[in-house]
Amino acid sequence: MTSKASGTPAWGHKQLRAAVDAAGVALWSWNLDTNNFAMDPHGYALWDVPLHQPLTFELLSEKIHPADRDRVREAFQATKSVEGAYEIDFRTQLNGDVRWISARGHGGEIGIVERAMTGIFIDISGRKNAEEGHELMAGEMSHRVKNLLAIAAALTKITSRSSSSTEDMSKQLTNRLMALGRAHDLVRPLPGNQGTAALLGDLFTVLLSPYDDDGAFAGRIRVAVPRMGIGKAGATGLALIVHELATNSLKYGALSAEAGTLDISGAQENDEVIIIWKEHGGPKVAAPPKGDGYGSELIRQTMEAQFGGEISYEWSPEGLIVTLSLSVDKLSA
User: Residue 170: inside a domain, yes or no?
Assistant: no
β-strands 55-56, 84-94 pairing: unpaired
Looking at the fold, whether 304 and 227 belong to one and the same domain comes out as: yes
Looking at the fold, whether 312 and 191 belong to one and the same domain comes out as: yes
Tell me which of 99, 123, 147 is where a domain ends.
123
User: Residue 177: inside a domain, yes or no?
Assistant: no
Tell me which of 123, 144, 169 is where a domain ends.
123
pLDDT tens for 266-315 read 999 889 999 999 999 888 887 776 655 666 777 888 888 888 889 999 98
User: Residue 8: inside a domain, yes or no?
Assistant: no
8 A C-beta contact, residue 284 and residue 317: yes
Looking at the fold, whether 242 and 321 belong to one and the same domain comes out as: yes
User: Residue 143: inside a domain, yes or no?
Assistant: no
Looking at the fold, whether 223 and 301 belong to one and the same domain comes out as: yes
Looking at the fold, whether 195 and 113 belong to one and the same domain comes out as: no
Judged by average pLDDT, the poorest of 10-14, 42-46, 211-215, 233-237 is: 211-215
Looking at the fold, whether 80 and 209 belong to one and the same domain comes out as: no
CATH of the domain at 295: 3.30.565.10
Looking at the fold, whether 200 and 310 belong to one and the same domain comes out as: yes
pLDDT at 151: 56
* Backbone phi, psi, residue 319, to 5°: 150, 160
**Helices and strands (H and E) in the chain: how many:** 11, 14
Q: Is the pLDDT of residue 324 over 90?
A: yes
Torsion of CA 39, 41, 45, 48, to 10 degrees: 50
- Better-predicted residue by pLDDT, 213 or 197: 197
Q: Is the pLDDT of residue 110 over 60?
A: no
Instruction: Calculate the average pLDDT of the chain.
Output: 77
Q: Three-state DSSP class for 135? A: helix
Tell me which of 80, 107, 123 is where a domain ends.
123
β-strands 261-269, 221-224 pairing: parallel
Share of the chain above pLDDT 70, in %: 72
User: Residue 164: inside a domain, yes or no?
Assistant: no
User: Residue 299: inside a domain, yes or no?
Assistant: yes
- Better-predicted residue by pLDDT, 140 or 303: 303
Judged by average pLDDT, the poorest of 1-15, 34-48, 115-129, 273-287 is: 1-15
Looking at the structure of the chain, the number of domains it has is 2
Q: Provide the residue range defining the domain that includes 91.
A: 13-123
Share of the chain above pLDDT 90, in %: 9
Looking at the fold, whether 206 and 323 belong to one and the same domain comes out as: yes
User: Residue 72: inside a domain, yes or no?
Assistant: yes
Which residues of the chain form beta strands (DSSP E)? 25-31, 36-39, 55-56, 84-94, 97-107, 116-123, 188-189, 196-199, 221-224, 229-230, 261-269, 272-280, 310-316, 319-327
- Better-predicted residue by pLDDT, 235 or 122: 122
CATH of the domain at 118: 3.30.450.20
Looking at the fold, whether 327 and 214 belong to one and the same domain comes out as: yes
Looking at the fold, whether 105 and 24 belong to one and the same domain comes out as: yes
Looking at the fold, whether 195 and 314 belong to one and the same domain comes out as: yes
User: Residue 208: inside a domain, yes or no?
Assistant: yes
pLDDT at 215: 42
Looking at the fold, whether 232 and 327 belong to one and the same domain comes out as: yes
